[in-house]
Structure 1
Amino acid sequence: MNHKKLMLNFLVILFLITGCNSELPDGVKLKYQALPETVDFNFHVRPILSDRCFHCHGPDENGRKADLRLDVRADVISKGHDKELFTIKPGKPWESNLIRRILTEKEEELMPPPDSKLYLTDEEKAILIKWIEQGAAYKEHWAYILPKKVALPKLKLNTWARNEIDFFVGEKLEKIGIEPSSEADKTTLIRRLTFDLIGLPPSLEDVAFFINDTTENAYEMLVDRLLASPRFGERWAWEWLDVARYSDTNGFQGDYSRDMWPWRDWVIQAFNDNMPYDDFTVKQLAGDLLPNPTKKDILATAFNRNHPYNTEGGSIPEETRVVNVFDRVETTGTVWLGLTLECARCHDHKFDAVSQKEYYQLFDYFNQTSEEGGVWMNKKIKPVLNICTPEKEKEIEQLENYLEGLYADIDKAELQVFPRELGLPSSESKIAKSTKNLNRRILSSSANNRSAGDYKSLLSYFNHWDDYASLLRKAIENTGKLQELDSEILRVMVMDEKEEARQTFVLNRGSYDGPLFDQEVFRNVPEVLPALPDGIKNNRLAFAQWLVSKEQPLTSRVTVNRYWQSFFGKGFVKTADDFGVQGALPTHPELLDWLSVDFQESGWDLKALFKKIVMSSTYRQSSKVHEKHLKLDPENKFLARATRMRLPSWMLRDQALALSGLMVDSLGGKPVKPYQPKGIWEDATFGKITYNQDHGDALYRRTLYTFWRRIVGPTVLFDNSTRLKTMVKPQLTNTPLHALTTLNDITYMEAARVLATNTIKSNAKDKDRILKMFTTVTSRKPIVAELEIFQDRLIQLQQEFRKKREEALKIATIGEFPMDESLDFIELASYTVLGSIMLNLDETITRQ
């Protein structure tokens, strides 16, 4: 024993001399002294290990090096095979090999290895040392711990807090020494609220009413009115369409059209009806498996048929089918769990505790639909939901029943007409082979797989066979009638469940043709999350219900975070698509958890969540930036002010239509094709598909209803999702290309022209007209200097257009909306350019 103790002491002394130069490096020492009293594993240590170590020493067994796993405490506190020191010895950093390896000056021993291009800062080294000193405690990843409501913090500024949100935000601000900003003025508030809740600017009447309403609950009444607006569903449906990768075409080279818009209308209605989010979830993931599902329940499942669908020549049906299942798994993982599951398609996740086997257990839930990857029905891949009137549905059902019997009679008759060996098709009979110019392909299939055209062809050869010809004539008439009725039916691709379960195997490196037959898997949820309830029928419905169960810690957090992001520009967790160990830490973990629990307790009430957010003092703050804010919180992570955000391109277009009065205000319906430069579709499809622009009211519908070709989205949009994969974090930027669109696109110029027309007709004097136009666009009156600038610019424009009358006429007539012939086109062109300038002002294109 004494000999072993002497040897251990020798190793420690040797380490202190060679590894630390008898003390911590100066930089590490300074950072160590500045550390908080307690180092937290989740918020201080795990991010370091995950970012610098887990790639080689994490969950992925096949990629693990040196047989060392740093994400499991039991592995790191035991002495490894042939190791002189413990990887980590709790309470004793100097006897821990991990500390020796991060402090050594020997490149061959240094961790992370220099060739990895990763390194630890002095602060990170200090954190690891202090953590081990404190006992090297591990914790379950914060996102996997069930959220709880903690008591509201106590604030010095109690009068500032209007609801629970403000207590948590205020506490953070007090800790870093920042006071919250004052409340924004009423004009800013109504614009912010209206854009946020319905995606449109407020009208002049709405602004005037709100400003003049001095009652105590004026703001709350405005919130309630906007939440009740049918425009609410359209605004929030847009974000869900990005999440759901919605498009009106399949994508890939052929990019065939599909009728998915009835599902889009279902989403709009769900938001307007304030459908509880748990129901919203279950119906979209498994509405077809509900007891006695309605057509709307089944329609909801189109969510998981919104993905691209490969129909290119040479595509392999089974590969397409498997890729579609991959998409469903990964979309569900991102949207409801906030996990990057795609990594585990080919191997165990490098960072999160999700194995490849667990990925395919999730895959099994979505692997049971009858979709086959290459079976077409009017260019809609089964399973499909037929949408038509009950009367037409009954007529089709009766006709199908009649045809079923007729086709059976034809098959029976062809046994006599085309004698052949048992089991062979009619095409192999001597009569079929001897009939000149007969397309024998028709006879190679059974009667129910032929078209009316096929039967006409057969009749031309066999019209002298009385009984058989009579059957053919009936088939021509009734098959044609069914095809005609069939063409009038909307078919939406939806989910279903095969009666006989399809086997699921782990796929080698995620290859569709590489099933590992010794690794069959059965549906289940990841072990790191709560288990499914005992005794349930474990299918896609059970999985969907598990996602929104109170025992499952991720869905409520991920959802609250995503919607918080919509109001503040960033979520509590900046990486809205990644709540795993590589994701960002929440800025306000207690508030995120409080809202997550409250969201569940409210019955998953989205409108209640939104109201709580917008009623808070935190939301109502001014967005003006102070020097102290920039110094202490440059990214506004702690919300000492409101966030200024560039309006997304779809909202900019809707704003232009609304301000001009062009917008056609109607809910739902078929997608429309507004203005688009010539040749865009043709170039993208090798000339095979032509863009046929709509006219009339269709040009002025909200952008939500614009036809979306997946391989080339609407050209009027920028910074939007491609709709190829789910997108839960919009990117809003500002580049000259965007300005070229908002300054030159026909929609914007036509909107400026109609705005100018309305302005000219409303007042006789230029000053009053400019005042009216500016107030319409910005919701406020211009100051004297602004008014003078616009007056001077108007005079310049009038002078220029008198010299360039042809240019003036082009501007005065741009777009299809009729020009008011009673107006002078020089004056109209001048005001149109003025309107365009106003539509492009910073405060017009920015949500303050």
Structure 2
Amino acid sequence: MNISLPSRIAAVGFLIVCATLSVSPIHAVQPSKDELDFFESKIRPLLIDHCYECHSTESGESEGDLLVDSAAAIRRGGAGGPLIGGRDADKTMLMRVIRYDDRNLQMPPDNKLSDESIGLIQRWIEMGAPDPRQENSVETTSSPLDRDPATHWAFVAPERAVMIPDANQGDHDLVDAFAAARATEAQVDLAAEAPGETLVRRLCFDLTGLPPTKQQVDSFVGSDAPEAYTRLVDRLLASPAFGERFGRHWMDVARYADTVGYALGGKERRIKGSDRFRDWTIHAFATDMPYSEMIRHQLAGDRTDPENKSGNLDAMGFLTIGRRFLNRYDTWDDRIDVITRGLQGMTVACARCHDHKFDPIPASDYYSLLGVMQSSSEKADGPSPLMMVDKDPHDTHVLLRGQPGNRGPMAPRQFLTSLRKPDEPKFDDGSGRLQLADRIADPTNPLTARVMVNRIWAQLIGKPLVDSPSDFGFRTEPPAIPEILDDLSADFASHWSVKRLVRRIVMTRIYRQSSTSSDAVQRSDPENRLLTRANTRRRDFESMRDALLMVSGSLDRQMGGEPVEITMSTPVPRRSVYAMIDRQNLPSLFRTFDFASPDAHSPMRYFTTVPQQALYLLNDRQTSELARRASMAIGREAKSSDLDDRIRTAYRQILQRAPESNEIALMREFLVSPVSPLLATADPRSRWSYGIGDVNDDFSVKKFVAFKVFAKGRWQASGVFPSKDANGYVSLGKEGGHPGNSKGQSAVRRWRAPASGTLRVIGQMGHRGEKGDGIQATMLVHGRSIFTEKQVRNNRPFGPLVAQVQEGQFVDFVASPGKDSSYDSFFWRSRIKLTGSDGRVYEADSVKDFSGPIDTDSNKQLDRLAQLVQVLMISNEFAFVD
């Protein structure tokens, strides 16, 4: 390949930058397996694509006295000197040049890296630039492909365990027997059974994601029947909420979202029918569809239910609800990753550019599956918008170094090398997706049952038996008590019933243990690998929010349907599993409470404790309103106005227990104390209004009529949507809207200035539809246009726009239709900063401030009972399961 001298000089500069991504001075501790996997799957391909041609041993080129194909070579660096001196990526020269911040040094010189690639490099630097490559590793080390997979525990089929001869008769299950035996060997005691109140709370959380009702607690705790626990388990398993709870767990595995992400540019972001996959998943778990059938429907629903008569074609959202990348190879990679990590616990995507460095996964395995994906295509106009169909079945070449233009040998479509039987036939039935599904769902597959059992165990016990739920490769240690995983897995593969597996686990003594144990046990088994006690667990985001709705009497148990926006200032009563998940603009609320990233398959949730969590629960309007509603219900339910009775009712409703005597005394003192007045502050929501504008030829508003109806998270012209009159689809939502059928039905978002001063507005706008002639976006200050522009199939930032404004004047954001009023959905997010004449600063955000009708009572200060209720609702006891 011929490269001009300026380009070669620039490329040398870029490679010098790459060469300085040193691991030794930055990574002071041994990198974790996840960090090394991140390098292999994300960073090594970038180095190969942009560096190896001129700076690798294989290419024979070392321009700038630089090699980048080993960690040692990168540490040595090149002629340009170090550009990374720590984990703060923003302070490094590397980030400055790849972001094109320096006009004189922009790398790569021909094409700037994508935002995603830049973000990956930044993340790598911040984690300490881990790099497992050894100098001349190809020549001096053996390949994992040389190792027999049967020598690793995970690649050997699990077998049913044999009961220990001297097992305690009190053991409910083999699980208990082996845990007790291992505890005896370690000379530690297992914890006693948890109290009844704890067990009912734990079961309801695990099986439904909701707190128990007072009736459930009283019925269970007050019963002497030996089968009371069994009856409670069976009732919860039969509850529709079981499907919602376990469906949400699976949505993490499937990287569920309702939008495609930011990579699609100006096209439609909403994934049509995403909610149909969510609803199918919930229904599958609720009806106890065999897991083997779930696998087949998710990978090959076009063959198992081609007309969608049973709704199983929607299951193919497992493949099609992932991110959509500009590079189609990245989209296929995402689908290969969710299949292999999600269903098999194998990191096959690491073999995209080379043979796997740790596991028996040659690059040909990756391209065998790529051939399956390339032989399939989406069919949005079929019985399901989520379906895929076979199209031009063919094998594909191995792409050397992952580069499309660098073809290697053919990789026939077939199953993975480490799991393939001798002389096993290749995939020849269409694309091969159904054959792939059959091989994954085969009961003799050693990984399928193990991976799923480990996931379910983690959800019920609070910690997986195998610490890396989506990586069962050679570097993964077996569980501390491997007989438990093997027995559960062999049993599960014999029936594939998730409910039967769940029932077996929750019936064990191990599940029913208390989380309290002696100091000696804590020292002997600090990580609880020997299952000596229950794990103390915090509620996940969905369960916490649903519990707040439930104890306040606000929970709507309706199932299914379109996703709902749950981050507005007024509480939305739907369960959190039905929340709108926007990949590009995932609300900070979700991130604050450790929601699984929808960008890629998530092996498990990681819980953090940060101040923002407490601040949200203390200050958010939704929490305050739910506390107010709960206090009103408590006031009605309490038998009298007696403070002690109200306190007892509050504890039973919020925490499902009676208060201690010292708690009653403390809370009584709190309730009779005077309420300190709050400083009056203007509600930022009150400065906004939403309506229909009749506009002039210059798009200035000559008449504004406020919307009267708020429904399904949007303001609209009437109770019927779309309206049957000329207003049509005119509406405004949190991030955008739709104008009506003419300029007389323009959509207007109006903000009233609280002071006189200088206005500064920035934001994002666009028209993402693939059809239609777009909309005219106009911004007016007191009727004077400061911005107007046609928006057609685009996605762009705007501003800063600067103007002078007087107190009380209106700032209008007007969306008018073009000649064709069809396909006019638009988005428009604006942030306003007003610097008043007196120096005071006022800020507004069209997204954060958006709301339905403002309840004036919700702006009032909480009384003492409502404050007490909020204290209980944000307490650790409420946030933790037991």
TM-score, normalising length from structure 1?
Answer: 0.64
* Deviation of 1:843 (Å): 1.4
Q: 2:253 aligns with which of 237, 243, 251?
A: 243
Q: For the structure 1 residues 536 and 365, does the alpha-carbon distance in structure 2 shift closer, same or farther, using more than 3 Å as the test?
A: closer
- Structure 1 residue ranges without an equivalent (≥5): 1-46, 56-61, 67-115, 119-135, 372-381, 388-491, 678-694
What is the match of residue 276 of structure 2?
262
Listed one character per residue, the Cα deviations across residues 468-506 of structure 1 (whole Å, up to 9, x for unaligned) are xxxxxxxxxxxxxxxxxxxxxxxx2321111x2244111
Secondary structure of the equivalent of 2:398? strand
Q: 2:390 aligns with which of 485, 493, 497?
A: 497
Supply the distance in 2 between the matched residues of 1:303 and 1:630 (Cα, whole angstroms): 41
Listed one character per residue, the Cα deviations across residues 400-437 of structure 1 (whole Å, up to 9, x for unaligned) are xxxxxxxxxxxxxxxxxxxxxxxxxxxxxxxxxxxxxx
Listed one character per residue, the Cα deviations across residues 734-781 of structure 1 (whole Å, up to 9, x for unaligned) are 221111122222222211111111112222122111111111111110
Alignment check: 8 A CA contact 2:336 2:370 kept: yes
What is the match of residue 506 of structure 1?
398
Relative to its length, the structure with more strand (as a share) is: 2
Q: 1:542 aligns with which of 435, 441, 446?
A: 435
What is the match of residue 711 of structure 1?
584
Q: Does 1:723 align with 2:614?
A: no
* Deviation of 1:524 (Å): 1.0
What is the match of residue 732 of structure 1?
607
Listed one character per residue, the Cα deviations across residues 592-614 of structure 1 (whole Å, up to 9, x for unaligned) are 1111010011x200000000000
* Deviation of 1:537 (Å): 4.3
Q: For the structure 1 residues 210 and 772, does the alpha-carbon distance in structure 2 shift closer, same or farther, using more than 3 Å as the test?
A: same
Q: 1:551 aligns with which of 438, 444, 447?
A: 444
Secondary structure of the equivalent of 2:511? helix
Q: 2:662 aligns with which of 760, 780, 785?
A: 785
Secondary structure of the equivalent of 2:178? helix
* Deviation of 1:139 (Å): 6.1
RMSD between aligned residues: 3.6
Supply the distance in 2 between the matched residues of 1:138 and 1:236 (Cα, whole angstroms): 32
Supply the distance in 2 between the matched residues of 1:592 and 1:782 (Cα, whole angstroms): 40
Supply the distance in 1 between the matched residues of 2:567 and 2:443 (Cα, whole angstroms): 47
Q: For the structure 1 residues 740 and 154, does the alpha-carbon distance in structure 2 shift closer, same or farther, using more than 3 Å as the test?
A: farther
What is the match of residue 363 of structure 2?
356
What is the match of residue 637 of structure 1?
529
Relative to its length, the structure with more helix (as a share) is: 1
Q: 1:673 aligns with which of 535, 540, 565?
A: 565
* Deviation of 1:645 (Å): 0.7
* Deviation of 1:535 (Å): 8.8
What is the match of residue 214 of structure 1?
224
Alignment check: 8 A CA contact 1:154 1:167 kept: no
Alignment check: 8 A CA contact 1:352 1:580 kept: yes
Q: For the structure 1 residues 306 and 670, does the alpha-carbon distance in structure 2 shift closer, same or farther, using more than 3 Å as the test?
A: same
Supply the distance in 2 between the matched residues of 1:734 and 1:699 (Cα, whole angstroms): 25
Q: Which has the larger radius of gyration?
A: 1
Q: Does 1:328 align with 2:335?
A: yes
Supply the distance in 2 between the matched residues of 1:824 and 1:358 (Cα, whole angstroms): 60
Q: Does 1:370 align with 2:388?
A: no
Which amino acid is the alignment partner of residue 831 of structure 1? L
* Deviation of 1:117 (Å): 11
Q: For the structure 1 residues 832 and 340, does the alpha-carbon distance in structure 2 shift closer, same or farther, using more than 3 Å as the test?
A: same
Supply the distance in 2 between the matched residues of 1:240 and 1:291 (Cα, whole angstroms): 21
Q: 1:759 aligns with which of 620, 634, 649?
A: 634
Which amino acid is the alignment partner of residue 308 of structure 1? R
Further displaced range: 337-346 or 651-660: 337-346
* Deviation of 1:804 (Å): 4.2
What is the match of residue 701 of structure 1?
574
Q: For the structure 1 residues 146 and 789, does the alpha-carbon distance in structure 2 shift closer, same or farther, using more than 3 Å as the test?
A: same
Alignment check: 8 A CA contact 1:183 1:621 kept: yes
Alignment check: 8 A CA contact 2:306 2:313 kept: no
Q: Does 1:149 align with 2:160?
A: yes
What is the match of residue 520 of structure 1?
410
Alignment check: 8 A CA contact 1:652 1:845 kept: yes
Q: For the structure 1 residues 137 and 236, does the alpha-carbon distance in structure 2 shift closer, same or farther, using more than 3 Å as the test?
A: closer
What is the match of residue 877 of structure 2?
843
Further displaced range: 759-768 or 573-582: 759-768
Q: 1:595 aligns with which of 488, 491, 514?
A: 488
Q: 1:625 aligns with which of 504, 517, 522?
A: 517
Supply the distance in 2 between the matched residues of 1:299 and 1:385 (Cα, whole angstroms): 11
Supply the distance in 2 between the matched residues of 1:824 and 1:800 (Cα, whole angstroms): 16
1:577-592 equivalences in 2 (<5 Å)? 577-592=470-485
Q: 1:800 aligns with which of 667, 675, 690?
A: 675
* Deviation of 1:800 (Å): 2.5
Supply the distance in 1 between the matched residues of 2:149 and 2:297 (Cα, whole angstroms): 38
Supply the distance in 1 between the matched residues of 2:860 and 2:445 (Cα, whole angstroms): 64
Q: For the structure 1 residues 745 and 154, does the alpha-carbon distance in structure 2 shift closer, same or farther, using more than 3 Å as the test?
A: farther
Q: For the structure 1 residues 611 and 138, does the alpha-carbon distance in structure 2 shift closer, same or farther, using more than 3 Å as the test?
A: closer
Q: For the structure 1 residues 819 and 117, does the alpha-carbon distance in structure 2 shift closer, same or farther, using more than 3 Å as the test?
A: closer
* Deviation of 1:581 (Å): 1.1
Q: Does 1:298 align with 2:313?
A: yes
* Higher RCO (C-alpha 8 Å, min separation 6): 1
Which amino acid is the alignment partner of residue 198 of structure 1? T
Q: 2:289 aligns with which of 268, 275, 287?
A: 275
Alignment check: 8 A CA contact 1:653 1:748 kept: no
Q: 2:242 aligns with which of 212, 232, 244?
A: 232
Q: For the structure 1 residues 291 and 234, does the alpha-carbon distance in structure 2 shift closer, same or farther, using more than 3 Å as the test?
A: closer
Count of matched residue pairs: 577
* Deviation of 1:847 (Å): 1.1
Q: For the structure 1 residues 767 and 832, does the alpha-carbon distance in structure 2 shift closer, same or farther, using more than 3 Å as the test?
A: same
- Structure 2 residue ranges without an equivalent (≥5): 1-31, 41-47, 58-129, 133-146, 685-848
Supply the distance in 2 between the matched residues of 1:138 and 1:515 (Cα, whole angstroms): 30
Q: For the structure 1 residues 344 and 535, does the alpha-carbon distance in structure 2 shift closer, same or farther, using more than 3 Å as the test?
A: closer
Supply the distance in 1 between the matched residues of 2:509 and 2:487 (Cα, whole angstroms): 17
* Deviation of 1:292 (Å): 5.4
Supply the distance in 1 between the matched residues of 2:261 and 2:875 (Cα, whole angstroms): 36
Supply the distance in 2 between the matched residues of 1:817 and 1:640 (Cα, whole angstroms): 52
Supply the distance in 2 between the matched residues of 1:583 and 1:817 (Cα, whole angstroms): 54
Q: For the structure 1 residues 824 and 264, does the alpha-carbon distance in structure 2 shift closer, same or farther, using more than 3 Å as the test?
A: closer
Alignment check: 8 A CA contact 1:265 1:668 kept: yes
* Deviation of 1:628 (Å): 1.3
Q: Give identity over the alignment, percent.
A: 31
Supply the distance in 1 between the matched residues of 2:438 and 2:496 (Cα, whole angstroms): 13
Q: For the structure 1 residues 792 and 305, does the alpha-carbon distance in structure 2 shift closer, same or farther, using more than 3 Å as the test?
A: same
Q: Does 1:614 align with 2:495?
A: no
Secondary structure of the equivalent of 2:551? helix
Which amino acid is the alignment partner of residue 194 of structure 1? C
What is the match of residue 401 of structure 1?
none
Further displaced range: 562-571 or 532-541: 532-541
Supply the distance in 1 between the matched residues of 2:166 and 2:631 (Cα, whole angstroms): 51
* Deviation of 1:247 (Å): 0.8
Secondary structure of the equivalent of 1:370? strand
Listed one character per residue, the Cα deviations across residues 67-116 of structure 1 (whole Å, up to 9, x for unaligned) are xxxxxxxxxxxxxxxxxxxxxxxxxxxxxxxxxxxxxxxxxxxxxxxxx9
1:409-488 equivalences in 2 (<5 Å)? none
Which amino acid is the alignment partner of residue 202 of structure 1? P
Which amino acid is the alignment partner of residue 523 of structure 1? R
Alignment check: 8 A CA contact 2:395 2:413 kept: no
* Deviation of 1:186 (Å): 0.4
* Deviation of 1:533 (Å): 5.3
Supply the distance in 2 between the matched residues of 1:818 and 1:664 (Cα, whole angstroms): 21
